[in-house]
A and B are shown apart, each in its own frame.
Chain A
């Protein structure tokens, strides 16, 4: 009898060669949602407040856009790094994380839309 063949009644568990938990993907997805929302929030803040706009003017020829985007990207990457470390080997509730990330993405898009941003500021 071939030793590699299972004997009658023996249960076979097929393990994938490399099982990847969904944690790293969830970290990337949620961080991208957070980054998008931060971009929108900072854009509205810079538009609404002159001191914030001045604070976010990292490069004068580009104006507040330089700080809005630099800070959003920095916080996106830091968030991604932290979440990726925490969820590196974990399987997380991906449904809730996806829903949160997509809501944050939608918020980011909405906040960058000038008529909506103006509405928030009562313009």
Chain B
């Protein structure tokens, strides 16, 4: 059982940072939506407050880690230009996708959208986390603020969902591969 270094890092980008960010943002949306209909404000203990703050910090950190590893680590491998004369495009995912009309759309729509829209998610959740932390005790007194951050959180979830979906599909049709091989199990067999 083995995996290439590039595949492993792309896996960390998508399945660790990206997927956990989507899950954390989903939890944020559910909690914000629930608070709209709560009759009584949920009062947390000081320990609960600090854990909630930790949740928000981790969510924001996951979002930024996902876009930064995507743009500066995996994406350069994805868009690498094959040297002249190379016919096997397995190590050049963008060119592999664009070499066929059947798969070109995954780049032209999928990657072109994903590479930009994904950045809106951490911008939005950073703002939401800031507002929730700053107005921790008084958010119910600002219902319009709560509505706005709920909209931004839903859009962040959607943007992260788009990025995650296209990331998974792109990696299915043209996986990022190459670099040293890491043997996980059964070395030498």
Contacts and interface: CB of A to CB of B under 8 A. Distances in A.
Nearest to A111: B116
B26 interface: no
B76 interface: yes
B117 A109 contact: yes
A97 to B, nearest CB: 8
Contacts of B124: 32, 36, 105
Interface in B82-109: 108-109
Contact of A102 (B72, B76, B134, B151): B151
Contacts of A18: 137-138
B44 to A, nearest CB: 16
B147 interface: yes
Given A65-B71, A115-B109, A29 B148 contact: yes
Contacts of A94: 142, 144-145, 148
Interface residues of B, number: 37
A65 B120 contact: no
B97 to A, nearest CB: 14
A63 B131 CA distance: 33
Contact of A22 (B67, B113, B137, B142): B142
A122 interface: no
Contacts of A101: 148, 152
Main secondary structure of the interface of B (DSSP, over half): helix
Contacts, number: 106
B2 interface: no
B152 A68 contact: no
Given A43-B116, A114-B113, A20 B71 contact: no
Nearest to B132: A25
B183 interface: no
A69 B134 CA distance: 26
A29 B130 CA distance: 10
26 contacts: A25-B131, A28-B127, A29-B145, A29-B148, A31-B127, A32-B123, A32-B126, A32-B152, A35-B123, A39-B119, A40-B116, A62-B75, A62-B79, A66-B71, A69-B116, A73-B119, A73-B123, A94-B144, A98-B147, A98-B148, A102-B151, A105-B124, A105-B151, A105-B152, A109-B120, A112-B113
Given A26-B145, A112-B117, 16 more contacts: A25-B142, A29-B145, A35-B123, A43-B116, A61-B72, A61-B80, A65-B75, A68-B116, A72-B119, A94-B144, A98-B148, A105-B155, A108-B120, A109-B120, A112-B120, A114-B108
Interface of A: 16, 18-20, 22, 24-26, 28-29, 31-32, 35-36, 39-40, 43, 59, 61-63, 65-66, 68-69, 72-73, 76, 94-95, 98, 101-102, 105, 108-109, 112-115
| In the complex, the 9 A-B pairs of residues with the closest C-beta atoms, listed nearest first | A61-B76, A32-B127, A112-B116, A98-B148, A112-B117, A114-B112, A25-B145, A43-B116, A94-B144
